[in-house]
């Protein structure tokens, strides 16, 4: 799913992470930990094409990150679902319309097909009855469920989740983790950046750490 070899990550001229050797296999669930400013978000941004990979080798879901062109990024993002800390829902439209917007933007056609897909992903996150609600009518946990549903729309091979429980209370965080665990069991690979060590203890998985410009597996 993901392989980085001797990779270094820069933001403009600033070296953020160096000599990364990292491999994530299909179906794995991996945590990405590290202090604020340690490079977690820069690594994530490189993986979904927001930052170019300038040094080393990198492949994710069949895309070569060194050779990634601007026109390739939408295709990469169809194979990767991205979940953010702050949900990033469109507040001027309801849940159904939020998901419809993404489908139309990624080239889907046919109302019945799109309706079926939206119902399918909302069911996966236990939000099937909430499609008519506006984002501000939902709790934080419900908004994050919708954001996860949105990430699932194009049947991604991998989900990158950047602090998905960062704005949620502990009980809701556990509920969201349960949702992501179920999705992972369906065969979708996860890389989840988090500060929440209680979750890591409760749901143990392989853990990757950013520290001192390096990335390494925590044993």
Q: What is the pLDDT of residue 135?
A: 95
Q: What is the pLDDT of residue 92?
A: 95
Residue boundaries of the structural domains of the chain = 27-51+69-218
Q: What is the pLDDT of residue 106?
A: 83
Q: Indicate the Cα dihedral angle 104, 107, 113, 119, nearest 10°.
A: -50
- For residues 126 and 179, is the Cβ–Cβ distance under 8 A? yes
- Ordered per-residue pLDDT tens for the chain, 219 residues: 999 999 999 988 899 999 999 999 999 999 999 998 899 999 999 999 999 999 999 999 999 999 999 999 988 988 999 998 888 899 999 999 999 999 998 888 999 999 999 999 999 999 999 999 999 999 999 999 999 999 999 999 999 999 999 889 999 999 999 999 999 999 999 999 998 999 999 999 999 999 999 999 987
Distance (Å, rounded) from C-alpha 48 to C-alpha 76? Answer: 7
Count of other CB atoms within 10 angstroms of residue 188 = 20
The whole-model pTM stands at 0.91
Q: What is the pLDDT of residue 78?
A: 86
Report CA 139 to chain centroid distance, whole Å: 20
Pick from 47, 70, 4: nearest CA to 156: 47
Q: 27-51+69-218, superfamily in CATH? A: P-loop containing nucleotide triphosphate hydrolases (3.40.50.300)
Distance (Å, rounded) from C-alpha 150 to C-alpha 99? Answer: 6
């Amino acid at each position: 799913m993901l392989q980085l070899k001797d990779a270094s990550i820069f933001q403009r001229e600033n070296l953020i992470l160096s000599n990364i050797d990292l491999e994530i296999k299909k179906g794995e669930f991996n945590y990405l930990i590290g202090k604020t400013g340690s490079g977690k978000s820069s690594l994530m941004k490189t993986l979904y094409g927001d930052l170019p990979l300038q040094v080393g080798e990198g492949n994710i879901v069949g895309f070569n990150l060194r050779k990634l062109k601007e026109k390739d990024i939408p295709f990469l993002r169809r194979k990767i679902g991205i979940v953010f800390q702050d949900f990033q829902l469109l507040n001027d439209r309801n849940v159904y319309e939020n998901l419809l917007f993404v489908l139309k933007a990624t080239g889907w056609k046919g109302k019945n097909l799109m309706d079926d897909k939206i119902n399918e992903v909302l069911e996966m996150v236990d939000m099937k009855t909430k499609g008519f609600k506006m984002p501000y009518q939902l709790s934080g946990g419900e908004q994050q469920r919708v954001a996860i549903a949105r990430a699932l729309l194009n049947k991604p091979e991998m989900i990158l989740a950047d602090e998905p429980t960062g704005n949620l209370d502990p009980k809701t965080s556990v509920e969201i983790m349960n949702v992501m665990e179920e999705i992972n069991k369906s065969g979708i690979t996860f890389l989840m950046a988090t500060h929440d060590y209680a979750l890591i203890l409760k749901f143990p998985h392989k853990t990757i750490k950013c520290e001192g410009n390096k990335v390494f597996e925590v044993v």
